[in-house]
A and B are shown apart, each in its own frame.
Chain A
Amino acid sequence: MSRLADALAPLGLMLLLLGAWEAACRLTGVPAYFLPPPSQVAVAAATGLPVLVSAAWNTLSVALVALALAAAGALLLAILVGLSPLLERAVRPLASALQVTPVVAVAPLILIWAGIDHPERAVIALAVLVAFFPIFSGAVTGLRSADPDLERLFDLYGAGRLERVMRLRLPAAVPFLMEGLKVGAGLAIIGAVVAEFAAGSGGVRGLAWQILDAGNKLQTDRMIAALVVLAVMGVAVHAGLERVERAGLRWWRGR
């Protein structure tokens, strides 16, 4: 009974808010281009559904490609850094500097470098940039998280550096890598959206472009519908990765 109530509570709140919104729009007579009622947003979403779905797929595929590239690059760099403390000291300040620089500020430059003809490359590059750091710092921390006594065991039997990385540090880092991937995936979506905004109409025709385009035409209902699709997509990706993480950790721990 209480589980059912737990499940129904957020749904109830949402219905209540939507009802209040609908009522407020009808009672005050606020113009639809300023604030459309939820019923009008629903109609816009239903009629524009194929466009919205394909836009969502465009954004999602950019985010996933960026996530894969960021994960591969971050893991490789983390392993190299793990093999050489000097390289780590060299990389750290640069990495921090890039991390704190807002992606919107870097976007125009990346757009020029990627070539005005290939804005989709710029969008992917910007999403990679955002997703890279949580995965990288998770991997660096994880590669250092092996039990010191297990490290001593590897000393005792004369294991080489590469063997130590492959058989001890990398497997020990798995929980940190999963956490980094989860955070990185969320940021890759944000990165892809921000990059689409920066790239403007020439870029990937994803959800951000839908929002921009609808905004330019004062189609507020389409804007909100695209926002809702974006939120649903973010929640779904997060939930999916949470499941992958749980299953991965169960395998890693053996229970």
Chain B
Amino acid sequence: MTPATVALEEVEVDYRGRGRALGPLSLRIGDGEIVALVGPSGCGKSTALRLLAGLEPATRGVVQRAPGRGETSVVFQAPTLAPWMSAAANVALPLELSGTPKPEARARALEALERVGLAGAGASRPAQLSGGMAMRASLARALVTQPRLLMLDEPFAALDEITRRTLADDVLALWSQTRPAIVFVTHNVEEAAYMAGRIVVLTRGPGRIAGEVRVEAPLPRPAGFRTWPVFTEAAEAISALLAKGAEVAP
């Protein structure tokens, strides 16, 4: 077992005075592991993600986090770029907030943009980028700090199918360079089976673990992986767990 990057033990999160949002949930994310959190709407996936990122406290239970400040990155559902800044300035922001001198931060931001296929787009404003390009810039902003833990909150939900698939491959290729642990939330079964080594299926809210599916195949995925039996079997197993999780009484 690889050392844990983040571990949740019997963690519960309550809405403020409105009952439980999540848990009890126990989950450990190993170093360099890619884990997908899948579950029905309102099961607390995004809450779990914020908990793992250290952005939200647990009401009960223990959260153990190895990454220090600046070693966790989050890619949100929307690109969430500041419209008044250039793409390069947006990408450099995490470095500058962590105290990196501006010239160095800008240089590393341009490198990060190049790695996500946006060489030359550094001076563009977010409004001048397409949806897919803006998402890539958001990914560059998350990768620029070389995080130990990368969180993705339904990052491709608003994109078309072709862009989604390209970006999924790009994320895996980028992962293979520095191998951060990745946790990503999705409600897309095929995306989960394609990108993750382990898929954790949550029940409907308050989310608990309905079951786990492992995908024993190389990462990044080889060409034509979507036709492999291991992929289709994993997708079916996830769907079955989702159906089971939906029956669980709250």
Contacts and interface: CB of A to CB of B under 8 A. Distances in A.
B64 interface: no
B84 A150 contact: no
Interface string A129-149: 000000000000000000101
A252 B85 CA distance: 8
Interface string B96-126: 0110000000000000000000000000111
A153 B74 contact: yes
B98 A254 contact: no
B83 A156 contact: no
A155 to B, nearest CB: 6
A253 interface: yes
A253 B86 CA distance: 10
B125 A253 contact: yes
Contacts of A155: 55
B97 A158 contact: yes
Given A153-B93, A156-B73, A252 B83 contact: yes
B70 A157 contact: yes
B128 interface: yes
B97 A159 contact: yes
A254 B127 contact: yes
Interface residues of B, number: 28
A252 B73 CA distance: 26
Given A157-B98, A158-B69, A172-B82, A255 B76 contact: no
* Interface size class, chain A: 20 to 34
A168 B81 CA distance: 11
A167 B84 CA distance: 10
B176 interface: no
- How would you classify the secondary structure of chain A's contact residues: helix, strand, loop or mixed? helix
A255 B125 contact: yes
Contacts, number: 66
B82 A171 contact: yes
Nearest to A159: B97
B200 to A, nearest CB: 22
Contacts of A150: 80, 82
A93 to B, nearest CB: 25
A152 B55 contact: yes
Interface in B50-82: 50, 53-55, 69-70, 72-74, 76-78, 80, 82
A174 B82 CA distance: 12
B76 A149 contact: yes
Contacts of B80: 147, 149-150, 153
Contacts of B94: 153, 156-157
A171 B55 CA distance: 23
Given A149-B78, A156-B53, A156-B74, A254 B97 contact: no
A156 B84 contact: no
B127 A158 contact: no
Contact of B82 (A156, A157, A168): A168
B83 A254 contact: yes
**Residue of A155, A157, A253 contacting most chain B CB atoms (<10 Å):** A157
Given A149-B77, A158-B70, A254-B84, 5 more contacts: A149-B78, A156-B73, A168-B82, A253-B127, A255-B127
